[in-house]
Structure 1
Amino acid sequence: MSSSDIFIGETIGTAVLILLGGGVCAAVTLKASKARNAGWLAIAFGWGFAVMTAVYVSGPVSGAHLNPAVTLALAISNGGWADVPVYVAGQLLGAMIGAALVWVAYYGQFRAHLTDREIVGGPGAQATAAQAVEAREKGAGPVLGIFSTGPEIRNAVQNLATEIVGTAVLILAVLTQGLNDQGNGLGVLGGLITALVVVSIGLSLGGPTGYAINPARDLGPRIVHALLPLPNKGGSDWSYAWVPVVGPLIGGAVAAGLHNVAFA
């Protein structure tokens, strides 16, 4: 496949992934959403179905990596390093597009949520300049969880370990069960298996950090959160942002190394 195929496929596929995955988070979180308070089970299955849909959309074009940790693991496994920057660029751009589309789809709900006195306090109007400065200095704002992940207990070592372990499980499943015939991405059956694994990770290991297990999935939407003109949105928690990037990359590398030793 050509570099343009890879970039286009990863951009579209990752945009679909984040649109549907971020969409279920918005549906469960935002005021005036019919699915508000549907709970963690809805989020876990929503992300699983998002993965499955994104794989089926982009698999024939780019192999549907959709995740820099998958791209890194495949490069370690088969030595295909040349296309890594193209994959990662498409994934990051797609994640940002998907996050922006979540904002478009839930625009009215975002406005209602972020001007509600019970949620953001104050007069329920646009933030003043002083409030905006204060929000930038804070950690996670009231809707950041729709865009990116955050820990329930802020402990960098534990949070990093959780992301490493969760991503290693995902990558081992991809490498042992999910690859297409060419070995360069996910196949049709692999898309279903990977989706179910993502649901399992969410239910079993997602509680501590929200299971990013994908650097682009977290970083791209976090950038969009920082840029969007949302009133009273609070901070983007950049002090934590390195964990869901570094952890999944380490997890992907560990899983690839283990796969090469035990399964190859």
Structure 2
Amino acid sequence: MHGFIGELFGTMILIALGTGSGAGLNLNKTYAKGKDWLFVSFAWGFAVTMGVYVAGVLGSDGHLNPAVTIGFAAFGFFPWSEVLPYILGQFIGAFLGAALVIIQFAPHFKASKNEAEGNSVGIFATRPAIKSPLFNFLSELIATFVFIFILLNLGDFTQGLKPLIVGLLIAVVGMGLGTTTGFAINPARDWGPRLAYTILPVPNKGNAEWSYSWVPMFGPLVGGLIAAGLEVLVH
């Protein structure tokens, strides 16, 4: 239960802060409207930092990401018996974090009448800059591979200043490799908020774009498996 609780609340904090930055960036009449990609990258980086701190204190390893959990378990870095509670916590936490943002920004969703005014699923989930399924998949695979391969060489990343390093890692992955697909690098980070956007009463919402959702699900999972496999191989 500690793993489930830690992952749930850690991922909830991650998504509340991360998608909150997306809402502030895109919706009408917020103070952050129109900020740049640097804002996005650092916001998500620090969101991960705070989520990892919360998860670690509450008793989990601070994965906050099924690609981390499954990749680690597949190559012996994490017990399979803990995988299901971790993943359940991640997806539920991601949904709840998005729900908080929907409440927080309700007047701004109402003030943003359509996608042209910034009200779109892109606040909650990822979308490609250029739609090209194979290369979108490869973009998510490569970004996640780099992220998790570095993560595997950080040791216990819930301790001391390590969560800050993880946040900086997320930020640099976003700046370096995230501008093609929005760097989901995390199936829960994409699917939980996408589902919240789909089923909760978001004012003026548009298409949830589920036809794209396989990319942020399978790209990160494959990238995580390759990273963990390579870590075993090189050691």
* TM-score normalised according to structure 1 size: 0.85
Match of 1:106 in 2: 105
Q: Distance in 2 between matches of 1:240 and 1:162?
A: 13
Q: Distance in 2 between matches of 1:52 and 1:232?
A: 32
Q: Distance in 2 between matches of 1:175 and 1:203?
A: 20
The answer to whether residue 213 in structure 2 is matched with residue 241 in structure 1 is: yes
Give the letter aligned to residue 187 of structure 1: Q
Structure of higher CA gyration radius: 1
Q: Distance in 1 between matches of 2:11 and 2:186?
A: 11
Match of 1:128 in 2: none
Q: Distance in 1 between matches of 2:217 and 2:165?
A: 24
The answer to whether residue 15 in structure 2 is matched with residue 18 in structure 1 is: yes
Alignment partner of 1:190 out of 162, 181, 189: 162
Aligned-CA RMSD value: 1.6
Percent identity over the alignment is: 43
Alignment partner of 2:71 out of 65, 70, 73: 73
Match of 2:129 in 1: 152
Match of 2:191 in 1: 219
Q: How does 1:110-259 map to 2 (within 5 A)?
A: 110-114=109-113, 119=117, 142-177=119-154, 179-180=155-156, 186-259=158-231
What are the superposed Cα offsets for residues 93-118 of structure 1, whole Å, 9 maximum, x if unpaired? 000000000111111111111379x6
Q: Which runs of 5+ in 2 are unaligned?
A: none
CA contact (8 A) 1:31 1:112 kept: yes
Q: Distance in 2 between matches of 1:113 and 1:143?
A: 9
Give the letter aligned to residue 178 of structure 2: G
Q: Distance in 2 between matches of 1:212 and 1:27?
A: 18
Match of 1:133 in 2: none
What are the superposed Cα offsets for residues 201-225 of structure 1, whole Å, 9 maximum, x if unpaired? 1111111100000000000000001
What are the superposed Cα offsets for residues 33-88 of structure 1, whole Å, 9 maximum, x if unpaired? 00100111101000000011111111131111100011012212325111101100
Give the letter aligned to residue 214 of structure 1: N
Match of 1:129 in 2: none
CA contact (8 A) 2:25 2:33 kept: yes
Q: Which runs of 5+ in 1 are unaligned?
A: 121-141
Once the two structures are TM-superposed, the CA of residue 25 in structure 1 deviates from its matched residue by 0.7
Match of 2:88 in 1: 89
Q: Provide the secondary structure at the position in 2 that maps to 1:204.
A: helix
* TM-score normalised according to structure 2 size: 0.95
Q: Distance in 2 between matches of 1:81 and 1:115?
A: 44
